[in-house]
Chains A and B, each alone.
Chain A
Amino acid sequence: MDLTAPGTRVAVNARARAGTRGWPPAAAVLLGALMSMFGLSWDVQWHSDVGPDTFFTLPHLLLYTGSAVAGVAALVVVLRTTAAQRAGRSVDPAVGGHAIGVFGRTFAAPVAYLVTGTAAATFLLYGLWDQWWHSLYGFDATIDSPPHIGLLLAISTTIIGSLMAFAAARAERWGRIGVLVSLALLVAFFTITSLAFQDADGAFDAVDTSIAFTTVLLLVVAVSYFRRPGAALLAGGAVAALQAVLWVFTPWATYTYADAVGLPVRDYVDRVPGLPSLIPMSLLGVALLLEGALRVARASGWSARVVAPLCGAVATALVAALAPLQRTLLFDAPLPEFGYVAPTAIVALVLGALAGLLGWRFGLTLRAIAPTTAEEA
């Protein structure tokens, strides 16, 4: 697998080819990811506010169809790429990145679609495991069962495939927009996957720390990938926009569906959208602070090797420390004591440095998926 080559500037003349060939499959994968995202948010709300479960509920269908759409799109691209390579035609690396040989050289799979397709197949396997789990444990009493976490990780990887497919078309406006939307989806999706830690006992809040870590890591990916002022704010804005849309969609879909099938809403529900309320609302403010810090760093000529972990640490600590305040505002929950918030912020500070380092490097890895000038010539 060769993800890079000397020099990573994207040729302007790549636009015509990538523009026509690249966007349909990337858009199909993104559509699948969006379906999974909205299906999951709907499903979570359905369980908490209405209740009855069968496999064949509309939110489940949306969730499962999302992965199917992404998987089929990836399969189509892999088959087309394989056919093109066998026929001796050139394969455009702006469509999902460089092709990798799979099962020897039986298939040629652009790296973004290899990730997407593998993730969709994994989702299917974990879906089967989830069915078996239900036969042992009954319907889902909790979101954080092992098969569910496997399923959520598989969908997250599908969204990473979407991110890569758009990143390969960085020269295109649709490529850059797709990267932002995919990053926002990943931020939102990792919040619910972080609930895997909700039973962890300890001196700090592992869920808040995990959400802050992944959120800031992805924010730094945006900065490092776009390499221009305003990237963090744009990513933060994309997350806020997704949160706003989910905030409206989730209760609307839940109560409309309940009405349609003649089921009442549970007694005593608080009606706050569950999944959207997990997404850090502090992100826009933190992104603004990050933009300010990066501006100072640019003017002072500081190295990203220092700035990325430093900014990552402070941003992660801020997001983690402000999470309890968000719960207080939304759910009227009591504020936890300083003795609980402080250890969480300290752990987040340490892990945040790692989030900054990893985010910066992953952003550059993502840039390298796009074809270089030499490849496009």
Chain B
Amino acid sequence: MRTRTTVAALLATATLLGTSAQPAAAYEPVNVVHTERVQAGPYGITVGFSTWPVRAMQSLDFTFAPDGGIEGRTGTVRQELVGADEHKTRKLARHPRKLEVWGMDIASLDTPGTWTMTFAVDGPDGRGEGVLPNLEVLEQPGPPLALSWAVATLPLLGLITFLTIAWRRTRPSREELSAV
């Protein structure tokens, strides 16, 4: 009887938790607060930022809007930290919340310094390349990363402590320790 009551209570809790918060289908629009212009051969591109200035590790929306739209055009964007071996090249894909332009959602540049964004676009007017130089990325916000990682590993330290105590208080027989 008690078992049945417990199971019923647990199921009711799970159902309540699962149904009380309705998933939100509405997502925030992309709010561009700063723009830069890049000329990639025959293609003019407006580069939009949802946060300005850009800070290391802070995620934002990037939008890349070629003049005349993205239809019939493809390309890549390469983000590179000047003077360091840190770079990433991606295909120009539609921004998931602003489908009429290319872009990157919830993306961050993780190291402070001067970055460049190099665009290579193929389209009806041929291939064009252009660079957005001197994109300054400021220091990361918040506490030093080492401190955050120290806090992040506390559960691991707790687990190791627990396992050490359990190990020391368990006395397996000689047979258990040696017989395969």
Contact = CB atoms under 8 A, between A and B. Distances in A.
A139 B106 contact: yes
Interface string A40-65: 00000001001111101110011001
A354 to B, nearest CB: 13
Given A31-B14, A69-B14, A150-B151, A58 B177 contact: no
Contacts, number: 179
Contact of A141 (B57, B166, B177): B57
Interface stretch (B21-29, B40-48, B129-137): B21-29
Interface string A250-278: 00000000001111101110000000000
A3 B177 contact: no
A63 to B, nearest CB: 12
Contacts of B25: 260-262
Interface in A116-150: 118-119, 122, 126, 129, 133, 136-142, 146-147, 149-150
Interface string A10-39: 000000000011001100100100000000
B84 interface: no
B18 A61 contact: yes
Nearest to B92: A267
Contacts of B96: 50-52, 263-264, 266
B162 interface: yes
Contacts of B145: 146
Nearest to B11: A28
A47 B173 CA distance: 49
Contacts of B17: 65, 68-69
A243 interface: no
A53 B154 CA distance: 27
Interface residues of B, number: 60
A115 B27 CA distance: 37
Contact of A1 (B152, B165, B180): B165
A267 B91 contact: yes
30 contacts: A4-B171, A4-B172, A31-B14, A50-B96, A52-B27, A52-B105, A54-B28, A61-B18, A68-B13, A80-B6, A119-B155, A139-B106, A141-B107, A146-B145, A150-B151, A150-B152, A153-B155, A153-B156, A261-B23, A264-B96, A266-B93, A268-B93, A298-B180, A302-B180, A304-B177, A361-B167, A364-B170, A364-B176, A365-B163, A365-B167
Interface of A: 1-4, 6-8, 20-21, 24-25, 28, 31, 47, 50-54, 56-58, 61-62, 65, 68-69, 72-73, 76, 80, 115, 118-119, 122, 126, 129, 133, 136-142, 146-147, 149-150, 153-154, 156-157, 160, 227, 260-264, 266-268, 294, 297-298, 302-305, 307, 360-362, 364-365, 367-368
Interface of B: 3, 6-7, 9-10, 13-14, 17-18, 21-25, 27-28, 51, 57-60, 91, 93-94, 96-97, 99, 105-108, 140-142, 145, 148-149, 151-156, 158-159, 162-163, 165-167, 169-173, 176-180
